[in-house]
């Protein structure tokens, strides 16, 4: 049973006109009438997120690390206009997915958020900006490793059992949706910018190291009760504004060796998911292709309503991210919705919404395929 899917670049252009029309409708509606349609008699009690800054909603706020986003101008378009630790101008993918699944408006971080019983019942976020599947990745920037995120999840499940009992906890864990995104930092930072890794591994062997680590992580999640899981693959890392600036030459072209590794990892993790699903009869782990839609948005920004696609809104948009993205900065843009990227590494809320809306219904359908 194969539970993964891909969308080709051609398919994006073929339905472009219809998509833009639907997008306008989507951006103008509210949570109550924008929900993902679930199969009959199916409910999703909670959402759990693991990974890096693409999913982190504030776990890094309370730890000693330079990888933070709890200061302006981060969060300027978030409800209330305050920074929360989300690496964007507003909501990020985790919030939007929780909203679209009809679970709740925001997915709170596990650390430092004064969680209430209702938060525990409906899901929390364990992701940490700067993290990855290579253990060295988290050590370098002192963030929460993948293994530590699993330990936090174990503690969470123990607290949930105390609150609800064993049977109810088992039901919540098995019927909830889990989302995982953690690979970009391994490739962009650890491999290509850490001499010990690039000397020790070639592209192929390092990719295999990451796949092995990711597989172990997913198997552990399964043992802890996870059944329905969306695995978000690597994006076109070499085309992110920061990588263009640092490695794309004077013309700031996409850095192809970064993209080559991202594509190699994606192809190998698809096979790994197939093995996990085949070995565990209750496993519903779905590969979600982020690479294709984000690359299409970069190559055809006008078709998605973006005016700027090769740099971020914050500062010059060329290298600013985390502590480099601060205010006041005369270069920071006024309207982030016209930008594909918020800083030089992370998408804007509007970009996240487009990606999630385009991919989530298909992914959810795959999760419930028998």
Give the chain's length.
Answer: 370
Q: Evaluate whether 141 touches 65 at the Cβ level (below 8 Å).
A: yes
Among the listed residues 237, 231, 208, the one whose alpha carbon sits nearest the alpha carbon of residue 219: 231
Burial code (b: 16+ CB inside 10 Å, e: under 16) for 140-176 equals: bbebbbbeebbebbeebbeebeeebeeeebeebbeeb
Which of 56, 95, 346, 357 is flagged as catalytic? 346
Please give the chain's pLDDT, 370 residues, in tens: 333 334 333 343 433 434 333 343 333 333 334 468 888 888 899 999 999 999 999 999 989 999 999 999 999 999 999 999 999 999 999 999 999 999 999 999 999 878 889 999 999 999 999 999 999 999 999 999 999 999 999 999 999 999 999 999 999 999 999 999 999 999 999 999 888 899 999 999 999 999 999 999 999 999 999 999 999 999 999 999 999 999 999 999 999 999 999 999 999 999 999 999 999 989 999 999 999 999 999 999 999 999 999 999 999 999 999 999 998 888 999 999 999 999 999 999 999 999 999 899 999 989 987 5
Respond yes or no: is residue 134 known to be catalytic.
Answer: no
- Can you name the residues that pair with 287 across neighbouring β-strands? 4, 231
Which of 56, 77, 95, 343 is flagged as catalytic? 343
Which of 53, 113, 128, 207 is flagged as catalytic? 53
List of residues 6+ apart from 346 with CB closer than 8 A: 53, 54, 87, 88, 92, 312, 321
347 to 40, 72, 154, 342: CA distances (angstroms): 34, 16, 31, 5
Respond yes or no: is residue 11 known to be catalytic.
Answer: no
Tell me the C-alpha distance between 102 and 44, whole Å. Answer: 8
Q: Residue 107 gets which letter from DSSP?
A: -
Q: Evaluate whether 12 touches 295 at the Cβ level (below 8 Å).
A: no
Q: Evaluate whether 233 touches 289 at the Cβ level (below 8 Å).
A: yes
Domain annotation for the chain: domains and CATH numbers = 9-367 (3.40.50.1110)
86 to 52, 74, 230, 239, 342: CA distances (angstroms): 11, 7, 20, 22, 11
> CA-based Rg of the chain, rounded to a whole angstrom?
19
Respond yes or no: is residue 193 known to be catalytic.
Answer: no
For the record, the structure tokens of 281 come out as 């009869």
For the record, the structure tokens of 264 come out as 């190699």
Tell me the C-alpha distance between 273 and 262, whole Å. Answer: 16
């Amino acid at each position: 049973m194969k539970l993964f899917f891909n969308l080709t670049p051609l398919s994006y252009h073929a339905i472009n006109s219809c998509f833009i029309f639907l997008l306008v409708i989507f951006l103008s509606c509210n949570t109550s009438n924008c929900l993902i349609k679930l199969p009959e008699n199916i409910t999703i009690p909670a959402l759990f997120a693991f990974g890096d800054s693409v999913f982190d909603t504030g776990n890094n706020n309370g730890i000693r690390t330079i990888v933070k986003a709890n200061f302006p101008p981060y969060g300027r378009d978030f409800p209330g206009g305050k920074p929360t630790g989300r690496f964007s101008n507003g909501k990020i993918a985790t919030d939007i997915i929780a909203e679209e699944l009809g679970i709740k408006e925001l997915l709170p971080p596990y650390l430092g958020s004064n969680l209430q019983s209702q938060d525990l019942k409906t899901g929390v976020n364990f992701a940490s900006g700067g993290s990855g599947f290579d253990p060295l990745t988290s050590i370098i920037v002192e963030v929460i490793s993948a293994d530590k995120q699993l330990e936090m999840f174990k503690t969470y499940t123990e607290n949930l059992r105390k609150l609800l009992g064993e049977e109810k906890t088992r039901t919540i864990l098995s019927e909830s949706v889990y989302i995982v995104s953690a690979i970009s930092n391994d490739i962009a930072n650890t491999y290509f910018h850490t001499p010990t890794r690039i000397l020790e591994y070639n592209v192929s062997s390092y990719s295999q190291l990451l796949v092995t680590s990711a597989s172990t992580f997913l198997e552990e999640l399964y043992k802890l009760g996870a059944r329905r899981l969306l695995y978000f693959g690597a994006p076109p890392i070499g085309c992110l504004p920061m990588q263009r600036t640092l490695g794309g030459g004077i013309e700031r072209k996409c850095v192809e060796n970064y993209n080559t590794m991202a594509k190699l990892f994606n192809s190998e993790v698809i096979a790994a998911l197939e093995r996990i699903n085949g070995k565990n009869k209750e496993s519903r782990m779905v590969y979600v292709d982020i690479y294709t839609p984000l690359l299409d948005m970069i190559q055809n920004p006008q078709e998605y309503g973006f005016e700027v696609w090769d740099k971020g809104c914050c500062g010059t948009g060329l290298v600013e991210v985390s502590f480099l993205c601060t205010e006041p900065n005369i270069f920071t843009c006024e309207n982030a919705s016209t930008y594909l990227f918020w800083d030089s590494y992370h998408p804007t809320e509007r970009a996240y919404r487009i990606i999630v809306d385009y991919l989530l219904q298909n992914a959810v359908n795959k999760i419930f395929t028998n």
